[in-house]
Amino acid sequence: MTDMAEKLPSDSAVPAPALRFDRAWGVVAGAGLLMFINLGPVLYYTSGIFIKAISDDTGWTRGTIAAASLPANLLITLTLPLVGWAVDAYGTRRIALLSSILFIVGMLLLGQFSKTPGQFALLLVVANACGFALTPLPYAQIVSGWFDKRRGLALGLMLTMSGLGTALFPPLSSALIAQFGWRNAYAFLGLIVFAIGAFAACVLLRDPPQLTSKTSGHDDKTPGLSVRSALTGRAFWTLFAAFFLISIAIGGGSTSLPLVLTDRGVSAQQASFVMTIVGLTMMIGRLSFGLLLDRVFAPRLTALVFLAPALAFSVLLLPNATSVNAMIAAAFLGFGLGAEVDALAYIASRSFGLRYFGRILGFLMIAFTLGLAFGPTLFGKIFDQFQNYHLALWIAAGISAVASGLIMTLRKIDLPFTPKRAGTHT
């Protein structure tokens, strides 16, 4: 399979190499900006910062606030196959722009009209529904459509920006909450998402050539399995189970990390800084992981990285908690977070091809988002029951190890769309 960037029509004013750079790598930049402001950094990984502020202001328990995100995450889970279908059919640019505009409305409603736990849960559903395209799915699809032999690198660069968002949004949220209160902080975050998302969608994103050909009425010759064939194969369900488990562990651990630290006497601002360490190591993990994906058998590499969260939780379980322990745990957790979406998108594209990639990845992302939904709820409920996170950390460490073992069962025959040999093209 040749790279999509090589199939662009010639332009008399611009040489082909410049076209490839401007369009393919420009798409990576635009997708990266949208990953910077996706639901993960903006809502999910700041939730540990908001939970304490909301609890102090309203008196709601941590478990109640954490559980309020479950319906929202379930909604995103159920709509992912629909988003994947829309991306396959209409492209990423339109839905990215629409979602960026709607999201600011959802965040305004969330901050200003959440007067009871039920209203908070309902408006979290609204905010997440408005951000339907602010997930990795559309941008993994568009980048995979432009790249083949350097797909791992391109995905890694794009998803590195999510790590940057995870590094910056928690301390930014903490500062906004301290200055303006948690209700207005949500509105400011929505405004940031709108400004960056609209710019990226309008200026940088370009749908891949095969989508343009399909919408123009030409036959789609993109290689790939049908949705039915993918969903009935062993590789699909292996990926589904492994990523469901690892997302429970990293979801619960990452959102609860600031709470674990503040319970041990760390200030809210220092706890938010630890999340910055998580974000920075996410960036390092995603970039290095992306570089290695094009060179090392992806399931084996992924299995190794899945052990990083288990090490993070083990460090947090040490009896003598210190700031050094917290930073080590944050680094391991961030490194694990730096691999999950990259690995899922990359392995899925090599296992099932690109013809129906958006739809198939949408079904796989159900596992990922379900895990992210149940992880914080599990941690919150365990805290409410025992007034500490020890049992939750033990559970998270165990299921991280199980997820690693599942990924190891994938073989080369399960990834039939892997290039035969490395090349120098995009």
| Residues near 392 by beta carbon (within 8 Å), at least 6 away in sequence | 252, 256, 378, 379, 382, 383
Q: What was the pLDDT predicted at 250? A: 85
- Residue 150, in any domain of the structure: yes
| Residue range(s) defining the domain that contains residue 89 | 16-206+222-414
Q: What is the pLDDT of residues 380-392, one digit of tens each?
A: 888 888 888 889 8
Residue 291 forms part of a structural domain: yes
**Helix 268-293 crosses helix 340-352 at what angle (to 10 degrees)?**
30
Q: Is residue 8 part of a domain?
A: no
pLDDT at site 30: 94
27: left (phi > 0), else alpha (psi -120 to 50), else beta?
A: alpha
Residue 170 lies in a domain: yes
What was the pLDDT predicted at 240? 94
Residue 8's pLDDT is 37
Q: What is the CATH number of the domain that holds 346?
A: 1.20.1250.20
- Residue 214 inside a domain? The answer is no
Number of domains in the chain: 1
For residue 9, is it within any domain?
Answer: no
Task: Name which of 208, 256, 274 is nearest 396 in CA terms.
Answer: 256
Burial of 88 (0-12, 13-18, 19+ CB in 10 A): buried
- H-helix or E-strand spanning residue 366: helix 357-386
All residue ranges of the chain with pLDDT < 70 are 1-22, 210-221, 266, 268-269, 272, 320-323, 338, 420-426
pLDDT of residue 320: 67
Specify the pLDDT at position 406.
94
The pTM of the full predicted model, rounded to 2 decimals, is 0.71
CA distances (Å), origin 255, targets 166, 275, 375, 396, 421: 11, 9, 9, 13, 40
Domain membership of residue 419 (yes or no) is no
Q: With respect to residue 161, please indicate whether it lies within any of the assigned structural domains.
A: yes
